[in-house]
Amino acid sequence: MSYSEQIKEVIDGSDVALFMKGTPSFVMCGNSDRALQALRRAGAPVTAVDILASPEIRQELSAISGWPTIPQVFVKGELVGGADIVEELEQSGELATTLREKLGDDYAERRDEQTVAIA
Amino acid sequence: MSRLVRVRMRGLEPPRPYGHTDLNRARLPIPPHPRGSAIVPAVATIESVSTEPLRTLLASAFPDATELEVHDRTGGGDHFQVVVTAPSLAGLSLVEQHRRVYQALAAPLADGTIHELRIKTKGATT
């Protein structure tokens, strides 16, 4: 499967997809960490992808999303934004509202963090 | 008398904070650094060198902006925080608002001038 197909599969197949530099257990960038921490505070079930695994992942991802920077957060296939937006939405409480609307009221109980490798 | 006023009190004999060494800094022909207010505008000028081009790009993309700030977060000229408040952003999602900023700054983002960009946008002043 091509990078682009794998990326689309993660975006469309995950409740919350986080494309980041590094992994949740070893974050390689401050902004990726800001997004991850905001998602954790909201109790989001995060599926993380390390874009540093290959430079092509980042290229393909930005081509798909039309978003130039990393991190990128998707909820049910829809781009929510980068670190600034996710942090802002978490602080205002809108992130939790969006997660409830799209994932159901019990989304926080399913909170499991997983990392998916794209190669 | 007026000529004397122009010579700084310490002249070419500044103190020797590094002691007396072979390359004696106290003897280097560099006048003492001007103190006080002169330093502040010098620093501000350095910051505006990196932020002014971005401000210009944003101003032409958001001619209706009521607030337009560009801040060099680290002083290194590549980590920026921008704040844009413009009525033309009202009603757009945050994703769309940030996209407009990315579009306005596409050139410096593409050529690597901007290494990191933090964005804060508002549709209208609250």
Min Cα distance A90 → chain B (Å) is: 13
Interface A–B counts its CB contacts (< 8 A) at 27
State whether B119 and A84 contact (CB < 8 Å): yes
Distance, in Å, from the CA atom of B53 to the CA atom of B81, rounded to the nearest integer, reads 14
Distance from CA of A102 to the nearest CA of B (A): 17
Number of folded domains in chain A?
Answer: 1
In chain A, whose CA is at the least distance from the CA of B107? A68
pLDDT digits (tens, 9 = 90+) for B78-124: 899 999 999 999 999 999 999 999 999 999 998 988 999 999 999 97
Burial A79-96 (b: 16+ CB within 10 A, else e): bbbbbbbbbbbbeeeebb
d(CA A47, CA A115): 6
Write the residue in B98, B117, B120 that is nearest to A81 by C-beta: B98
CATH of the domain at A53: 3.40.30.10
Q: Which CATH superfamily is domain B36-122 in?
A: BolA-like (3.30.300.90)
**Do the bridges between strand B67-72 and strand B79-85 make them parallel or antiparallel, or are there none, so unpaired?**
antiparallel
| B26 and B32 Cβ atoms separated by less than 8 Å | no
Cis peptide before A71 (omega within 30 of 0): yes
Angle between the B94-104 and A83-92 helix axes, to the nearest 10 degrees? 150
Q: For residue A30, give its domain range.
A: 3-116
Q: Which residue intervals of A14-113 are DSSP H helices? A: 30-41, 55-65, 83-92, 94-103
Among A68, A84, A89, the residue with its CB nearest the CB of B118 is: A84
pLDDT at B39: 47
pTM assigned to the model: 0.78
Say what the pLDDT of residue B18 is.
Answer: 61
Residue B3 has pLDDT above 60, yes or no: no
